[in-house]
Structure 1
Amino acid sequence: MSTTLDGKVVLVTGASSGIGEATALALSAEGALVAVGARRADRLESLARKAPGEVLTLELDVTDPESVRAAVAATVDRFGALDVLVNNAGVMLSGPIAGADTTEWTRMVETNLLGSMYTVHAALPHLLASKGTVLQISSTSGRIASANSGVYAATKFGITAFAESLRQEVTTQGVRVVVIEPGFVATELASHITDPTMRAAAQQMATSMRILHPEDIANAIVYALTQPEHVAVNEILIRPTDQTR
């Protein structure tokens, strides 16, 4: 028998679009009290208007530990607890390693990997108290690295490694750790790619198959979070049916 999310307090990072936005709306529809954080805080107001339940909007930069601590504190101050952290904030700046702009590497490592680590660190005392859940958004790139995505894949492999270490540390204390690994999803992620060849390749891939929608990932997240307390869904790999690797 599945459990309900009614009244559970959830913090979703990277919630201004795509998977983060869809997840926040899906969890709100399930009765959760949702705090949403993003750098583009103006976009969160429209999300809050669309959500069926109570939503707290937060300006959040996951690369700044102080911003992360403030967002967690504001969530707990508003709702009294924290039951679920959805670590979704991320950037994908694909391109070849040779001749790369290494500032893009830094941005990916700081946002995707360190950002998720900072957020776990700030949220963990509250999640231990509530016997809550850490849910990390990784990628198929966290399982299979491919050419022209070396650093992005490294950050996603890192998320998976960090999550497994965290799981071993906290699972006997009642905190569940879930890793979601989406394949190609219709989000803004690919539009941030600065390498024109890689951006064109991503656009071509998007038109060559029936790609996933953010709501597909949100549905999987709801599934993982509504399992009975003794059931830990540690990993979900979701690809479009048409995606070969």
Structure 2
Amino acid sequence: MGVRGRSVRGKVVLITGAARGIGAAVAADLAAKGAKVALVGLEPEELDRVAAGCGPDASAWVADVTSWTDLEAAVAGVVERYGGIDVVIANAGIAAIGFTRSIDPKAFERVIEVDLLGVWRTVRVALPHLIERRGYAMLVSSLAAIVHIPGNAAYSAAKAGVEAFANSLRAEVRHLGVAVGVVHPTFIATDMVNGTGEHPVFGPLRAASPGLAGKTYPLPVAVRLISAGVARRSRAVHVPGWVGAVKLFRALMPRVVERQARKIVPQADAAILADIAERGAVESSMVGPGARAAAQSAETRTAE
């Protein structure tokens, strides 16, 4: 069947990070196109709200992608209900803001745990089911995998890792009939990105960024491109399209960023130290409700 003829109707699609943002919106769009969506995330009330909006074939599982036990239980539940899994969208992700010398260490490492290791765990647990149905895995990376800006080291490292993981995985499972795609969104109007905009130091810096670097795109832009990528089993999805062009100049990006950073980092470094002194490193590093939910989940597991 050609690309134009592919459809998600009747396909079982498991989406992590589905309580908010891109995950929730893509779930709703795919459900409207006839997919059976299985939502995985940390916020039960938000998950139930999204599932209710996706129709009777949707379901939700509360699971932390940093937990093998949670993911195994969620995947087993999805398979028991639907009989298998056709598509996995490994979308769960959080961000933490701050410079390496002063960011809360737990916040930094939590980003790696959720955004990179959470993707690995999701894929590993679901992969036998994708192999069974010759399915498709879509891994959500970011423009941050290509352009590494100061104050975003954890997120850039994690998302670059996701891209590399996707490329290796694709070569490993092609002979098994499984396709692998990677998504590179720029700033999309989600709770996480809005949380960055509200940060007292990095929010104004982003707003003052020139051209495309400072632009936030509406959520429907991402939904349209990602949903189309799922239907086509795309190798790469760029949100929006110009992100793909940036890849062509990847080798030049560090020098471009460094040149721009000379103008802003010294003042921002002093400002972030002042913010930490006022609010504390933990609060200063937080970005959006997803990061707070992940931190709460991590604290609960530690207490147990």
**How far apart, in 2, do the equivalents of 1:3 and 1:94 lie?**
40
**How far apart, in 2, do the equivalents of 1:118 and 1:82 lie?**
16
Which of 73, 79, 82 does residue 79 from structure 1 map onto? 82
Question: Which position in structure 1 is the counterpart of 2:49?
Answer: 46
**How far apart, in 1, do the equivalents of 2:48 and 2:205 lie?**
33
1:106 deviates by 1.0
Question: Which position in structure 2 is the counterpart of 1:65?
Answer: 68
| Residue 201 of structure 1 pairs with residue 202 of structure 2 | no
Question: Which position in structure 2 is the counterpart of 1:128?
Answer: 131
Question: Which position in structure 2 is the counterpart of 1:139?
Answer: 142
Question: Which position in structure 2 is the counterpart of 1:111?
Answer: 114
1:52 deviates by 3.9
Alignment length, in residue pairs?
240
Question: Which position in structure 1 is the counterpart of 2:188?
Answer: 185
Q: Secondary structure in 2 aligned to 1:196?
A: coil
The more displaced of 47-56 and 29-38 is: 47-56
1:55 deviates by 0.6
1:203 deviates by 5.9
Higher helix share: 2
Question: Which position in structure 1 is the counterpart of 2:30?
Answer: 27
Question: Which position in structure 1 is the counterpart of 2:59?
Answer: 56
The more displaced of 91-100 and 116-125 is: 91-100
1:198 deviates by 1.8
Q: Is the 8 A contact 1:97 1:150 kept in 2?
A: yes
Normalising by structure 1, we get a TM-score of: 0.90
Q: Residue 162 of structure 1 aligns to which amino acid in structure 2?
A: F
1:11 deviates by 0.5
1:192 deviates by 4.9
Structure 2 unmatched ranges of 5 or more: 247-252, 254-304
Structure 1 unmatched ranges of 5 or more: none
Aligned-pair identity (%): 32
Q: Is the 8 A contact 1:9 1:81 kept in 2?
A: yes
**How far apart, in 1, do the equivalents of 2:11 and 2:127 lie?**
16
Quick one: structure 1 residues 69 and 86, their matched pair in 2 at CA, closer, same or farther if it must change by over 3 Å?
same
Q: Is the 8 A contact 1:31 1:53 kept in 2?
A: no
Q: Is the 8 A contact 1:5 1:30 kept in 2?
A: yes
Deviations 1:183-238 (A, max 9, x none): 11000113555963124434666xx96532222222112212222xxxx5211222
Deviations 1:38-95 (A, max 9, x none): 1001111111222245111110110111101111111101100100000111011121
Q: Residue 87 of structure 1 aligns to which amino acid in structure 2?
A: A
**How far apart, in 2, do the equivalents of 1:240 and 1:126 lie?**
31
**How far apart, in 1, do the equivalents of 2:30 and 2:18 lie?**
12
The more displaced of 184-193 and 60-69 is: 184-193
Question: Which position in structure 1 is the counterpart of 2:236?
Answer: 235
**How far apart, in 2, do the equivalents of 1:140 and 1:111 lie?**
17
Deviations 1:120-139 (A, max 9, x none): 00000000000001001111
Q: Is the 8 A contact 2:41 2:64 kept in 1?
A: yes
Q: Secondary structure in 1 aligned to 2:138?
A: strand
Q: Secondary structure in 1 aligned to 2:14?
A: strand
Quick one: structure 1 residues 42 and 204, their matched pair in 2 at CA, closer, same or farther if it must change by over 3 Å?
farther
Deviations 1:111-168 (A, max 9, x none): 0000010000000000000000100111100112111111110000000011111000
Root-mean-square deviation (CA, aligned residues, Å) is 2.4
**How far apart, in 1, do the equivalents of 2:166 and 2:241 lie?**
24
